[in-house]
């Protein structure tokens, strides 16, 4: 794994943790952070040994406060610059959303703007009771581009997305849960434990099955009819060694030891 300035990567067995690492700025995302995030996920996505990825912010005060506004004058001050910058953001969001491995956003504190986009690109979101959410771009006079909006709309219904974007308000964890933005709200002192416990359960499952399910669910969001080849793929798990390990362990009342094949 390459070294990065604003993103930390660690692994414990087959669970990897990606940490947004600008705690002095509440993990606000600058150009380099977006580029590194895309690079980190590109590397992790290619590793067959990874079974789950947790994304979190350093310092415990924020998942991410969103864009680093201080760089706007130099990096995003006009349409040409914003378009190029948007391509960098899109690459990072797509690397998270389209990667094969299950992902969990561990949200503590502020999860705003681009930080919320990252969380939405993850498969599951677990947050602390004191977490805060929002996308206040209407107060900055800028729009979310289509690829970024897609991440939000993959999680919440369009009326909810409109309220978030039109109002620009920050809201708490219970409201986030009520609108389906997060899967679970956990006490502040237990949220890390809960997220890693879930990651452990995910990692104990058959990795090929989890990857297939992620792929299938993403595919079904597309209204195009399934091809015969795609339908056939949904039964390929029955031809794997892990399938045989799984049902034999079930019959024998033991825990399966899945190998990913």
Identify the domain boundary among 202, 223, 239: 202
Q: Which domain range does residue 230 map to? A: 206-251
User: Rounded CA gap, 37 and 7, in Å?
Assistant: 7
How do residues 62-84 score in pLDDT, each as one tens digit?
Answer: 999 998 888 888 888 899 999 99
| Domain co-membership, 149 together with 221 | no
CATH number of the domain residue 113 falls in: 3.90.226.10
Exposure on the CB side of residue 61, measured as CA atoms within 13 A: 10
User: Are residues 156 and 102 both part of a single domain?
Assistant: yes
- Do 247 and 221 lie in one domain? The reply is yes
Q: Do 222 and 116 sit in the same domain of this protein?
A: no
Count the Cβ atoms, other than its own, within 10 Å of residue 72: 15
Co-location of 212 and 188 in the same domain: no
- Tens of pLDDT, residue by residue over 38-65, are 999 999 999 999 999 999 999 999 999 9
pLDDT for res 72 = 85
User: For residue 2, what pLDDT is reported?
Assistant: 66
> Do residues 151 and 166 share a domain?
yes
In a domain, residue 172? The reply is yes
- For the beta sheet containing 110-112, the strands, ordered from the edge strand earlier in sequence to the opposite edge, are 62-64, 110-112, 132-134, 171-172
> Do 118 and 234 sit in the same domain of this protein?
no
The verdict on residue 257 lying in a domain is: no
Round the average pLDDT of the chain to a whole number and report it: 94
Q: Is 80 exposed, middle or buried (0-12, 13-18, 19+ CB in 10 A)?
A: exposed
- 259 within some domain: no
Q: Are residues 119 and 137 in the same domain?
A: yes
Residue 260 has pLDDT above 80, yes or no: yes
Residues 217, 194, single domain; the answer is no
Evaluate whether residue 34 is within a structural domain: yes
Q: How many CB atoms lie within 10 A of CB 133?
A: 26
Residue 128 lies in a domain: yes
Statement to judge: residues 215 and 159 lie in one domain: no
Domain count, the chain: 2
Q: What is the mean pLDDT of residues 87-93?
A: 96
Contact 205, 239 (CB under 8 A): no
Query: What per-residue confidence (pLDDT) applies to 14?
Result: 95
User: In this structure, is residue 256 part of a structural domain?
Assistant: no
95 and 219 part of one domain:
no
Q: At which of 163, 179, 202 does a domain end? A: 202
- Do residues 50 and 18 touch, judged by C-beta distance below 8 A? no
Asked if residue 81 is part of any domain, the answer here is yes
Scored b (16 or more CB within 10 A) or e, 42-62 reads: eebeeeeebbbbbbbbbbeeb
189: which strand partners? none
**b/e sequence 198-211, b meaning 16+ C-beta within 10 Å:** bbeebbebbbbbbb
pTM: 0.95
Name the CA dihedral angle for 188, 96, 34, 90, rounded to a multiple of 10 degrees: -130
CA 31-36-40 angle, 5° bins: 155
Residues of the chain by 3-state class (helix, strand, coil), percent to 5: 50, 15, 35
Name every residue whose Cβ is closer than 8 Å to that of residue 148 and which is 6 or more positions away in sequence. 86, 89, 90, 93, 114, 117
* 140, 109: one domain: yes
pLDDT band at 251 (very low <50, low <70, confident <90, very high): confident
Task: Encode pLDDT of 213-234 as tens digits.
Answer: 999 999 999 999 999 999 999 9
Residue 1 placed within a domain: no
Residue ending a domain, choose from 186, 202, 218:
202
Residue 110's beta-bridge partner residues? 62, 132
Edge-to-edge strand order for the sheet containing 184-186?
7-12, 15-20, 52-57, 103-107, 124-128, 184-186
Supply the pLDDT for residue 249: 83
């Amino acid at each position: 794994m390459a070294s990065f300035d604003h993103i930390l990567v660690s692994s414990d067995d087959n669970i990897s943790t990606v940490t947004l690492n600008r705690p002095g700025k509440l993990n606000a995302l600058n150009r380099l952070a977006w580029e590194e995030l895309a690079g980190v996920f590109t590397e992790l996505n290619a590793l067959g040994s990874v079974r789950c990825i947790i994304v979190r912010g350093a310092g415990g005060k924020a998942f991410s406060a969103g864009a680093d506004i201080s760089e706007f004058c130099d990096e995003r001050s006009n349409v040409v610059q914003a378009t190029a910058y948007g391509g960098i953001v899109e690459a990072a969001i797509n690397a998270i959303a389209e990667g094969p491995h299950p992902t969990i956003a561990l949200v503590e504190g502020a999860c705003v703007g681009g930080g919320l986009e990252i969380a939405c690109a993850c498969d599951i979101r677990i947050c602390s009771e004191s977490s805060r959410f929002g996308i206040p771009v209407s107060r900055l006079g800028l729009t979310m581009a289509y690829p970024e909006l897609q991440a939000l709309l993959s999680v919440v219904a369009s009326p909810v997305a409109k309220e978030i974007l039109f109002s620009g308000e920050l809201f708490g964890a219970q409201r986030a849960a009520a609108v389906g933005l997060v899967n679970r709200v956990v006490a502040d002192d237990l949220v890390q434990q809960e997220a890693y416990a879930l990651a452990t359960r995910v990692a104990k499952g058959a990795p090929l099955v989890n990857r297939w399910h992620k792929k299938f669910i993403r595919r079904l969001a597309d209204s195009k009819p399934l091809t015969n080849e795609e339908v056939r793929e949904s039964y390929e798990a029955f031809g794997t060694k892990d399938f045989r390990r799984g049902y034999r362990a079930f019959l024998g009342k033991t825990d399966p030891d899945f190998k990913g094949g």
